[in-house]
Amino acid sequence: MNQHPHVLVIDDEPQILRALRTILGARQFRVSTASRGEEGLALAAAQPPDLVILDLTLPDIDGFEVCARLRAWTQVPIIVLSVRDDEGAKVRALDRGADDYLTKPFGIEELLARIRVGLRHAARTQGAAQVIVKAGSLEIDLSQYKVLKGGVEVKLTGTEYKLLAYLIANAGRVLTHRSLLTSVWGPADADHVEYLRVFIRQLRLKLEDNPEEPKYLRTEPGVGYRFDLDD
Amino acid sequence: MQRPLVHITVRSILAALMVVLASGLMLLVRNWVTTPTVALLYLLPVGLSTAAWGLVPGLVAALGAFVAFNYFFLPPFFTLHVLHAEDLLALVVFLVVAVTMSRLVGRAESNLARAQAREHEAVHLHELTAALAGMHDDTTILQALAEHVRATFRGNEVQVSLQAEAGGPVEVVASPSHRASPESRPTIALPILGMRGMMGEIAIWRAAGGLTSDELRLLGTFSREAALAVERVGLAEAKSRARALVQSDALKAAILSSVSHELRSPLATIKASVTSLRTALVPWESEAREQLLQAVEEETDHLNELVGNLLDMSRIEAGSLKPQRQWNDLGEILQSVLGRMRSALAQHHVVAELPADLPLVPVDWVEIEQVFRNLLSNSIKYSPPGTTVRIVAREHTPWLRVEVHNQGPAIPEMYLERIFDKFFRFTAQDQVAGTGLGLSICKGIVEAHGGRIWVENLSPGVAFKFLLPLTWEGARPREMESHEPTSSRPGD
């Protein structure tokens, strides 16, 4: 990643474009903007960005389609920024390849944090796979299937480990219930959110310092879960 | 025609037998009765035969009676000679009695038959009107009409067509319903007439042939009843539409008055803060600047919440609030709410008492989070800082029972129900901020989940309580253990 990551913002609201250009520019990002879906896709192809911020309601093609068409050729992190806060829209965008979802209005600190996570995740997937992942007092050795908390090994069942490994491999990304269930339990169990609830509860009891206020295993209401490496 | 002839013959023989029997009896008592009395007594078999069996057996009896009377009781005895012309009078009397009685009986019978037919009609008509009375849509009315017409008129097929509104679609209902309408012309087709003329048609196919005038009259009444029922439904719909319009107008007016106040005040704060920040009056690094910025942020959050509430309310009003149910952990939902509301709740002690083994509950996460948010913000709005807000949840098969207790002032008894109404508040608007929508949204959401919400006064304090069903489509969550994937931990 270079010194000045390139962020492409696709949004039809001129005020949002202006605000993001100013704010992100001040944070040393290179910002390009598009107010239509096709324009955004063309820009992305001409100067591949390091991260895309995408609105769902665009005048020509909607954000879901932009998402799907970007994913046809690039793994660039996509953060959806939308006034739509229904879970259906979130799940649809995430299932079409978006990495994260932020509802307008949003705090700029929140957006910057999500951008950092997205860029870091992209750097990780491009480089060699990380073998040892550290997050706070947790240390997970993916080659040894070993989880340490404060230096003490934590015993996990097969499923718990599988779930944790999948979450960590996608750290920072929002994973929908469906994608978690499909990759850990299999497509036949894709709708059984109740399994997920129970296993997340168990993992939190084993890994979190305070299971009542989880730091790592974050819930995305009505959508899914996210493993947070940030403290 | 074979049958009536047989009947008449049999009955005539019976009549003759009755005369023979009467003659036998009178021969036994002939020494004690006079001849005129015998003649009188012979009227009995004649009258009875006529009354019981009709004219022909009556005439047979009359003739038989005369012959027997003449043979046994008139001199010369045991001959059919008639000595006096006046004896023939007996024959005439017998015949006249038979004819007169048969006519009287016939009239009584036909009166009875007509009365029975009328009663029959009345019963059918009553059944139809009773069936139509409770109906609220055109299709069921037509269906009922077709069924009743077919049953009453013994039709093979009945088809009813109707155009309820001018220019509207024509609805066609057939009985029996599964059959396509016959190719042939109907036996009879009668128009259904309403206030604005012909609305439709009843067509009957029946093997038994055309309808009698009585049947036609009844069919006409049926058709008028159905027309009335259809028109009644139309009027009721128009009325409820009008009422809904009036209500939604009232709602809009209430929203406008409540919302314009609620929207303006945060906007005023934001505008004032931002404009003063642009001037040189507020130093770049100062406490004042920090406070103004904080005010802007808080007020934008407030506005956002307000708009969210309005959207939720309009969804509830439109009936489009459909919970996206999933098996959820109530503790997890509550955690998320408490996390998001941390700064708002900072002035109060919030205690959550949830059993560790609380079962999963099939709810829409975001909506139940909204219920908690509204109940908690209501609680902190009305209870003094420093007091405790307690959240309790317990399994109460088949419900999950959740309670939010606060130390706020008691709610007057008469407002306990109304507190969940839109825009209802029993404190003056300037004392506590809010749209008056929060609790009605809670009610809308909990009821959309099939649950119930209410409020109770504690001593001291107030408790909001709600029930959520623990089953989803009649079932509890699937058992986990049996669905653990079989692959074991690869490292072991």
What are B368-412's pLDDT values in tens digits?
Answer: 999 999 999 989 988 999 999 999 999 988 899 999 999 999 888
DSSP label at residue B72:
I
What separation in angstroms does the CA of B276 have from each of A11, B265, B295, B298?
30, 17, 12, 17
Which residues in A lie closer than 8 A to residue B300 (C-beta atoms)? Answer: 105
Q: How high is the pLDDT of residue A107?
A: 86
Answer whether B328 touches A (CB < 8 Å).
yes
CB contact under 8 A, B485 and A158: yes
Task: Kindly tell me the number of DSSP H helices and DSSP E strands found in chain B.
Answer: 11, 11
Q: Measure CA B442 to chain center.
A: 29
Q: A194 touching B, CB under 8 A?
A: yes
Mean pLDDT, to the nearest integer, of B59-68?
A: 86
Per the CB < 8 A criterion, the answer to whether B337 and B391 are in contact is no
Q: Which CATH class is domain B322-469?
A: alpha beta
| A6-126: CATH, from 2.30.110.10, 3.30.70.20, 3.40.50.1980, 3.40.50.2300 | 3.40.50.2300
Check B483 against A192: CB less than 8 A apart: yes
Confidence grade of residue B483 (pLDDT, cut at 50, 70, 90): very low
Answer whether A120's CB lies under 8 Å from A51's CB: no
Nearest to B377 by CA among B322, B336, B337, B410: B337
Fold of B132-239: Beta-Lactamase (3.30.450)
Q: Is A109 on the interface with B (CB under 8 A)?
A: no
Residues carrying CATH 3.30.450.40, chain B? 132-239
Mean pLDDT in chain A?
A: 88
CB-based contact (8 Å) between A214 and chain B? yes
Higher per-residue confidence, A230 vs A61: A61
Given a cut of 80, is residue B1 above it in pLDDT? Answer: no
Going from N- to C-terminal start, the domains of chain A cover 6-126, 132-227
Tell me the range of A80-84, A172-176, B247-251, B452-456 where mean pLDDT is highest.
Answer: B452-456
Tell me the mean pLDDT in the region A134-153. 86
Q: Are B466 and B442 in contact (CB under 8 A)?
A: yes
Give the C-alpha separation, A191 to A181, whole Å: 7
Assess whether pLDDT exceeds 90 at residue B284: no
Q: Is B181 part of the contact surface with chain A (CB cutoff 8 Å)?
A: no
Chain A contact present for B280, CB below 8 A? no
CATH class of the domain defined by A132-227: mainly alpha
Task: Please answer yes or no on whether A195 and B335 come within 8 Å at the CB atom.
Answer: no
CA triplet B99, B104, B105: central angle to 5 degrees?
100
pLDDT score for A217: 92
CA distances to A18, A105, A221, B169, B299 from B274, rounded to whole Å, are 18, 18, 33, 59, 12
Nearest to B324 among A186, A189, A222 (CB): A222
Q: Choosing among B328, B353, B489, which should be mutated to test the A contact, i.e. which has the most A CBs within 10 A? A: B489
pLDDT at B435: 67
Q: Report the DSSP beta bridge partners of residue B192.
A: B200
CA distances from A144 to A68, A134, B272, B490 (A): 36, 14, 60, 9
Q: Which of B102-111, B274-283, B395-404 has the lowest mean pLDDT?
A: B274-283
What's the rounded Cα separation, in Å, for the pair B346 and B33?
A: 124
Query: For residue B333, which residues of chain A lie inside 8 Å, CB to CB?
Result: 221
Least confident interval from A178-192, B14-28, B276-290, B371-385: B276-290
By the CB < 8 Å criterion, does B198 face chain A? no
> Is the CB of A105 less than 8 angstroms away from the CB of B491?
no
The partner residue sitting opposite B489, judged by closest CB among A87, A158, A212, is: A158
Nearest-CA neighbor of B408 among B457, B473, B356, B361?
Answer: B457
Q: Tell me how far apart the alpha carbons of residues A221 and B365 are, in angstroms, rounded to a whole number.
A: 6
Q: Please tell me the predicted confidence (pLDDT) of residue A77.
A: 93
Q: Which residues of A touch B484 (CB under 8 A)?
A: 157-159
**Chain B CB contacts of A105 below 8 Å:** 300, 304
pLDDT band, residue B492 (cuts 50/70/90)? very low
Task: State the complex-level ipTM.
Answer: 0.77
Q: Write down the mean pLDDT value for chain B.
A: 83
CATH 3.30.565.10 domain extents, chain B:
322-469
What local confidence, expressed as pLDDT, does residue B375 receive? 94
Contact (CB, 8 A) for A212 and B335: yes
Q: Does A166 touch chain B (CB under 8 A)?
A: no
Instruction: Return the HEC string of chain A.
Output: CCCCCEEEEECCCHHHHHHHHHHHHHCCCEEEEECCHHHHHHHHHHCCCCEEEECCCCCCCCHHHHHHHHHCCCCCCEEEEECCCCHHHHHHHHHCCCCEEEECCCCHHHHHHHHHHHHHHHHHHHCCCCCEEEECCEEEECCCCEEEECCEECCCCHHHHHHHHHHHHCCCCEEEHHHHHHHHCCHHHCCCHHHHHHHHHHHHHHHCCCCCCCCCEEEECCCEEEECCCC
Phi-psi domain of B168 (left: phi exceeds 0; alpha: psi -120 through 50; beta: other) = beta
Interchain contact, A145 vs B327, CB within 8 Å: no
Q: Does the CB of B343 have a partner CB in chain A at under 8 Å?
A: no
* A104 to chain B: closest CA residue: B304
Q: For residue range B319-355, what is the model confidence (pLDDT) as tens digits?
A: 778 888 889 999 989 988 998 888 889 999 999 999 9
Q: Higher model confidence: residue A12 or residue B433?
A: A12
Q: How far is B363 from chain A (nearest CA, A)?
A: 10
User: Is residue B471 within 8 Å of residue B362, measured between CB atoms?
Assistant: yes
- The string over B76-112, giving b where at least 16 C-beta atoms fall within 10 Å of a residue's C-beta and e elsewhere, is eeeeeeeeeeebeebbebbbebbeebbeebeeeeeee
Nearest CA in chain A to B362: A194
Cβ neighbours around B58 below 10 Å, total: 30
- Chain B residues 214-253 with a CB less than 8 Å from chain A: none
Nearest to A224 by CA among B365, B331, B479, B371: B365
Q: What dotted CATH number matches B257-316?
A: 1.10.287.130
Question: Which contiguous run of DSSP H or E holds residue B462?
Answer: strand B462-469
> Are the beta carbons of A158 and B327 separated by less than 8 Å?
no
Note the pLDDT tens digit of each residue in B151-168: 888 888 888 888 877 777
Q: Is B324 on the interface with A (CB under 8 A)?
A: yes
In the predicted structure, residue B274 carries a pLDDT above the cut 80? yes
* Interface touch A192/B478, C-beta < 8 Å: yes
Q: Which residues of chain B have a CB within 8 Å of the CB of A212?
A: 331, 335
What tokens does B66 get?
């005369």
Residue whose entry in the numeric block shows the structure tokens 């959508």:
A223
Q: Does B489 touch chain A (CB under 8 A)?
A: yes
User: Does B356 touch chain A if contact means CB atoms closer than 8 Å?
Assistant: no
Strand A138-141 and strand A132-135: the pairing is antiparallel
Q: What pLDDT was estimated at residue A45? A: 93
Q: What does the pLDDT read at residue B351? A: 93
Residue A199 CA, chain-centre distance (Å), reads 21
Residues of B in contact with A202 (CB under 8 A): none
- What percent of chain B stands above pLDDT 70? 92
Nearest Cα of chain B lies from the Cα of A143 at a distance, in angstroms, of: 9
Q: String of b and e for B178-193 (b: at least 16 CB within 10 Å)?
A: eeeeeeeebbbebebe
Residues B439 and B419: beta-carbon distance below 8 Å: yes
When CB atoms are compared, the residue of B327, B488, B489 closest to A197 is B327
Do B69 and B39 meet the contact criterion of CB atoms below 8 Å apart?
yes
